[in-house]
Structure 1
Amino acid sequence: MPRDNQSNRFEGLEAVRIRPLRDEPLALDLVDTVWVDQGALLDQFDDLEGVRAWLGDHGLPGAPGLERVRDRLVLARDALRGLLEGRGHDRLNAVLDEGATRPRFGDDGPRDTVVVSDPAWEAAWTAAAAVVPLLRERPERLRKCANPSCVLWFLDVSKNGSRRWCSMEVCGNRAKAGRFSRRHKSVG
């Protein structure tokens, strides 16, 4: 995989291809644009192509000035992570203060329209506001991966609410392999 010579980031759309958890609800998917790979913290938004891809994946507008959109996405992401990690809600409230929904009627009937203080806020505000119904409905199902070195969050939709890992293929298998190795070392 091509890496930038200056840092641990992946170039272009390579970051999008390797991101381990991608089908979470919008707010969590924004939080999960930062992840750990081989001990390095990676950020999909280090590259504007990564921002473009994330916006496209969610059908969100880029607005003129993609750098400004990225800056607001990063603010919203950090505010969401802070809330999820128990560091307070003030930063998230500041992001949410940048917009609102307004009911409107159109030819297709009633709908809610997002109204923001600046078009560069629309995607970030939409993602930040998407955490509200998750926290109202099942806050106990919003979880951080049980792997201490993983930074990913997920919505546990398992029937009995027992999901522990962002991905069984990644963190779950690592934990299983570690337990297996420790068991066999103590036996041998």
Structure 2
Amino acid sequence: MPADDPRPLIGEPLSLDLLNTRWVEDGAARDLLTGVDGLAIWLGSAGLADRCVADEAALAAVLRAREALAAAVADPAGPSEEARAGLNEVLAHGRVRRVLSPDGPHDDVEADPPAWLAAWLAVDDYLRLLRLDPTRIRRCAHPKCVLHFFDTSQNRRRRWCSMAVCGNRAKASRHYARTRD
């Protein structure tokens, strides 16, 4: 069982959860994926530990997927041609094979080589989010936060990765600015 996940925001859709393996804490940049141990923690948190191996090849693939996803979400207008090429490079390592089993229709995800499975699943999840509503893929509004989330609020007004952390910091900053004047 992997150690506890130290990230401040977990549980977002897989693609955004992968992006959120980099965060800022106390003004310092943090990265969960600096080694295989961190990959094992992320795979465990993402529910992939039973499907994906945490080794150097898988880490390299996941890091490639994270960079492609970061490039894709960087422009609010949508992924650039270069970002799309990076995503498609990851997607070229896998496929969905539809089969009919005794229990009914089933989708089998295959990756070639198998080390690319977690990376492929994350980029495939990003495509799913784009199909649902690309405007709901957001970066936290706090200027010093680098986390991303999928806005599921009914009014589509979520601004913060966490109201308790970044939202509260912004409110406190505004209050401090008002009281200084």
Please indicate, yes or no, whether the TM-score normalized by the shorter chain is above 0.5. yes
Cα distance, 1:41 vs. partner?
1.1
Supply the AA of the counterpart residue of 1:55: L
SS at match of 1:45: coil
Aligned pairs for 1:48-87 within 5 A: 48-60=36-48, 61-63=51-53, 66-86=55-75, 87=80
Q: Which has the higher contact order (CA 8 A, sep 6+)?
A: 2
Supply the AA of the counterpart residue of 1:23: G
CA deviations 1:75-121 (Å, max 9, x no partner) are 10110111011253111111111111010122322111112220100
SS at match of 1:46: coil
Aligned to 1:36: 24
Aligned length: 172
Cα distance, 1:161 vs. partner?
0.4
Runs ≥4 residues deviating over 4 A: none
Cα distance, 1:62 vs. partner?
2.9
CA deviations 1:133-178 (Å, max 9, x no partner) are 1101111111000111111110111110001011111111110000
Question: 1:111 & 1:55 partners in 2: Cα distance?
Answer: 23
Supply the AA of the counterpart residue of 2:121: T
Structure 1 length as normaliser, TM-score? 0.86
Task: Please tell me the root mean square deviation across aligned C-alpha atoms, in Å.
Answer: 1.5
Counterpart contact for 1:116–1:122, Cα < 8 Å: yes
Unaligned runs of 5+ in 2: none
Aligned to 1:133: 128
Question: 1:59 & 1:21 partners in 2: Cα distance?
Answer: 15
Supply the AA of the counterpart residue of 1:81: A
Counterpart contact for 2:148–2:161, Cα < 8 Å: yes
SS at match of 2:33: helix
Paired residue for 1:46, among 34, 44, 49?
34
C-alpha spacing 1:13/1:46, structure 2 compared with 1 (3 Å): farther
Q: Does 1:149 align with 2:138?
A: no
Counterpart contact for 1:52–1:62, Cα < 8 Å: no
Counterpart contact for 1:100–1:114, Cα < 8 Å: yes
SS at match of 2:110: strand
Paired residue for 2:117, among 104, 118, 122?
122
CA deviations 1:12-38 (Å, max 9, x no partner) are 946x23x11101011110111110111
Counterpart contact for 1:99–1:114, Cα < 8 Å: yes
